[in-house]
Amino acid sequence: MSFSGKYQLESQENFEPFMKTIGLSDEMIEKGKDIKSISEIEQNGDHFKVTVTTGPKVMVNTFTVGQESELEMLTGEKAKGVVRLEGNKLKVTLKGMDSVTEMVDANTLVTTATLGGMVYKRTSKRM
């Protein structure tokens, strides 16, 4: 199943406590909590370009599965990691945070980020 497409955030769980855990300010959390971000994924074989637009903030990450890449994290900080593709899941660990992005069906993208015991889950639907 191809990840390519444009997805709009539909729901999220544990947004505020997770963002506090990773160090975002209360002001940033308040600004971001109700914005329906748009994720656009371009997949060409093992090469990916992921653009996430949240209000005025645009985050772009490009990577090739299995190769070390520098990726921008939710905090804006950059970290190196290797993205793995396991079935319909993209997995990466950056600075102790595990992230799994899964195509649960042809129109639903679920991203789960885990840091320590804190889990943040976001569900997006194809536009």
Name which residue leads in pLDDT, 83 or 31: 83
* pTM for the whole structure: 0.91
Give me Rg for the CA atoms of the chain. Answer: 14
pLDDT at 72: 93
Maximum separation of any 2 CA atoms in the chain, in Å: 39
- Residue-wise pLDDT tens digits, 58-113: 999 999 999 999 999 888 899 999 999 999 999 999 999 999 999 999 999 999 99
- ∠ at Cα 7 (4, 10), nearest 5°? 150
Q: How far apart are CA 17 and CA 32, in angstroms?
A: 13
pLDDT at 58: 92
